[in-house]
Structure 1
Amino acid sequence: MPGIRLPFNCVVCNIRTTPKNRRKINVQLKQQILKRFPVTVKETDVICNKCRLKHFCKSPPVSSLRYEEVISDLNSDDDFNPPISKRCAIASPPSVRLSIPATPKSHSRCFICKRPGPKLIVVPAEARFSAFAEHNIIIKSGTRCCPVHTDASKLKDDALKSANKAESAYVNRATVLELLTKLREAY
């Protein structure tokens, strides 16, 4: 019948849930709920996001192997690099002050000739690293310039000499780690 609302209460905390705040209970979650709470779970029951995240968002075990077997398998593979998830990305405010010249970050104008333009390109990571390694200049990620200033994923020397530079740079941890990693790989 129209106008009749079913009460979708959370099985764990018994709070009425909104449609965007509730999840159906699958078999694994049902088993965990029955282990932890003295409740009965039906097929039509739901759980709120708060309870789901608070109590049940733990990663499942890797496999039925023992811990020593998993570690020995990982240690035997020398080229193993664990995948980097988006949650592990380092994000911090620019708080590290370096006494290295740095160019201003500009998204709407070329950082070298200051021309506005619809055909600006983002300075590639290779060009930013080569500017740091060869000319001791930090170019922040996301900075844009005209395509005429680049030459095969590298910025031209005369363009870097004519660019405005500050005497020091405020960078974040991610920038420092990126520069150190690339230096380690290059040398």
Structure 2
Amino acid sequence: MAEKRKQSGYQNKCSLCQAVQRKNPYSVNRIIRSEQDVQNAFQLFNKTVNINDTICRSCYFELDEKLNLEKKRNKKIELSYPSTVESSECCFICSSTTEDLKTIPFKARFQVFSKKSIFIPEANQCCANHLICDQLYENDIERIRIISDKCKFTKDDLVKFMLEKSSISNRSTMGFKSTVETEQNCFICLSTMNLVAISLEARLDVFSRKEIFIPKGNRCCSHHLINDRLDEDGMNEIKIVSSTCQIDDDEFIPFVMSPHDH
């Protein structure tokens, strides 16, 4: 009898929790039927299953509950912000299909949203040469095409945008040229080696001589500095990414009152 049950698969193990279960031929919902089921199980349980594997009643309901929560989290909210084309096959800026495409970073999406109130869908792709330290060059921002006067945020995306927006609410936008904003790369040569924080005094020196604003927190290679000031070669190599800048309120007076060379 035991041999007969074994051959008929009367007992089986859940592919997720390994619990022994009785195999019910009518419980079709508890069989992994598709590649989507396989992906869901891996995403939510971090376990690999195969098509036609069975899962126990408990894991099935847990998986179903997690999927429902995931659907609610990813439910989109329509808001009245202009939106770009939604594209994962080509660059949303220039329509190129080059192999050098990458997913638009959140930092660039928020950059465009804060400057232009334009929403870029999360999965959009763009050419790598439009980006510098996960931000878009200003001339590329100007090339962005609007296709709708509404956009759809997921709840998670909306929370990220609002949190980021609140973090810069104490900044003022001014009409001075600005460099890329980065702590992971040298803002001059984009190197990641031997980085040091650039002081307020060095930033004010560049601002007074070149009318170029260097964002707070930026770092540069140590060899660009002489006596805590940028050397002349370093100043001449600075890349401008925007014709406006955002100055923290606690630095507003030092920069605005700084003498400028005209």
Offset of residue 146 of structure 1: 0.6
- CA distance in 2 between partners of 1:5 and 1:160 (Å): 69
Number of the residue aligned with 1:17: 11
Q: CA offsets, 1:40-97, max 9 Å, x none?
A: xxxxxxxx822x559xx9xxxxxxxxxxxxxxxxxxxxxxxxxxx9997663332x22
Matched, 1:93 2:75: yes
Q: Provide the rounded CA distance (Å) in 2 between the counterparts of 1:139 and 1:115.
A: 17
Structure number having the greater strand percentage:
2
Q: Secondary structure at the match of 1:18?
A: strand
Q: Offset of 1:110 from its aligned partner? A: 0.3
Q: Any conservation in 2 of the 1:98–1:171 contact (CA below 8 Å)?
A: yes
Unaligned runs of at least 5 residues, structure 2: 22-54, 170-262
Measured after TM superposition, the shift of residue 142 of structure 1 is: 1.6
Matched-pair contact (CA < 8 Å) for 1:108–1:117 = no
Query: Which residue in the other structure is 2:122 paired with?
Result: 141
Aligned residue for 2:162? 180
Larger relative CO (CA 8 A, sep 6+): 1 or 2? Answer: 1
- What does 1:132-171 correspond to in 2, within 5 Å? 132-165=113-146, 166-171=148-153
- 1:149 deviates by 1.1
Residue from 92, 105, 109 that aligns with 1:124: 105
Give 2:56's aligned residue: 49
In the superposition, the TM-score normalised over structure 2's length comes to 0.41
Partner of 1:112: 93
Q: Which amino acid aligns with 2:149?
A: E
Q: Displacement of 1:163 after TM fit?
A: 1.6
Matched AA of 1:116: T
Change (3 A) 1:19 1:142: same
Q: Percent identity?
A: 17
**Structure 1 CA distance for aligned equivalents of residues 13 and 59 of structure 2:** 17
Q: Distance between the aligned counterparts of 1:17 and 1:143, measured in 2?
A: 47
Q: Secondary structure of 1:145's partner?
A: strand
Unaligned runs of 5+ in 1: 8-15, 26-47, 58-84
Runs of 4+ in 1 over 4 A off after TM superposition: 85-90
Residue 146 and residue 171 in structure 1: after superposition, are their counterparts in 2 closer, same or farther (change >3 A)? same
Question: For the structure 1 residues 53 and 97, does the alpha-carbon distance in structure 2 shift closer, same or farther, using more than 3 Å as the test?
Answer: closer
